Amino acid sequence: MTKPAQHPFQIRFEEAVKASGARNRTEFARKLGVVEHPSKVANNWFSRDKRIPPAYRKQLNAIGISIDYVNENEGELETSVGVGPGSQSVGIDLARLRQAVEYVVDAYRYAHKPIDSRGVARLVAGVYDLLISDEPTNLIELGDRLKREVAGGRNVGQEQTGSPDKDVHGGVGR
């Protein structure tokens, strides 16, 4: 008797379980903070839902797993970046960070502005923040906004009125 073929999500889910260091799906669910019936919850994700709910994005990032990879096959499985030997994960989504850098560099090229590392870093931080948020992001609007802001030298998250150093994400312009 042959084993039925797995759904692509199930293959990625098993990769995530292994990459997290969990011995099985139940332990994986516990790592994500599932307290009540972790075995049942994990099996529902695996067999019925074919996705991990977005509410677990932060917990997955904290253990270095990309929910976008597991659910949608977008980006890479592992998102963590170490800071040195024996360091712990800082939970950076590398695929989203690369995407943010590409958007910002494209905006500089479109505006025919020289690429300024400080400006790029500031804009990338704002774009990355938007990309990892649970809020939907209109990428066309984001691209247009980036082009305008590169041309005007403002941060992506800055308010249109008020202090040029204040942005809506609580950061401070430099």
What pLDDT, on the 0 to 100 scale, is given for residue 1?
57
Q: What is the dihedral of CA 8, 12, 14, 20, to 10 degrees?
A: -170
Domain total for the chain?
2
The radius of gyration of the chain's CA atoms, rounded to the nearest angstrom, is: 19
* 56 located within any domain: yes
58 and 21 within one domain: yes
Strand partners, 166: 172
Our CA angle for 163, 168, 82, nearest 5°, is: 120
What pLDDT, on the 0 to 100 scale, is given for residue 154?
57
- Tens-digit pLDDT profile for residues 149-163: 888 765 554 444 444
Determine whether 59 is exposed, middle or buried from the number of CB atoms within 10 Å of its CB (0-12, 13-18, 19+): middle
134 and 101 within one domain: yes
* 166 located within any domain: no
Q: Average the pLDDT over 68-90 and give the result.
A: 64
* 65 located within any domain: yes
14 and 65 within one domain: yes
State the Cα–Cα distance between residues 29 and 151, nearest whole angstrom: 46
CA nearest to 65, candidates 96, 99, 91, 86? 91
98 and 65 within one domain: no
CA nearest to 155, candidates 116, 113, 121? 121
What pLDDT, on the 0 to 100 scale, is given for residue 85?
36
Average pLDDT of the chain?
A: 77
* 172 located within any domain: no
Q: Average the pLDDT over 68-76 and give the result.
A: 88
What pLDDT, on the 0 to 100 scale, is given for residue 174?
36
- Tens-digit pLDDT profile for residues 107-138: 888 888 888 788 888 888 888 888 777 677 77
* 159 located within any domain: no
Q: Tell me the percentage of the chain whose pLDDT exceeds 70.
A: 77
pLDDT surpasses 80 at 38: yes
113 and 63 within one domain: no
- Tens-digit pLDDT profile for residues 44-53: 999 988 899 9
Residue type, 50: K
State the Cα–Cα distance between residues 62 and 77, nearest whole angstrom: 13
Domain ranges, residue 15: 8-72
Return the number of other C-beta atoms located less than 10 Å from residue 174's C-beta: 9
What pLDDT, on the 0 to 100 scale, is given for residue 156?
54
What pLDDT, on the 0 to 100 scale, is given for residue 42?
94
Which range, of 55-64, 117-126, 136-145, averages the lowest pLDDT? 136-145
63 and 98 within one domain: no
CA nearest to 132, candidates 24, 73, 60? 60
* 127 located within any domain: yes
Q: Average the pLDDT over 98-106 and give the result.
A: 84
State the Cα–Cα distance between residues 168 and 40, nearest whole angstrom: 40
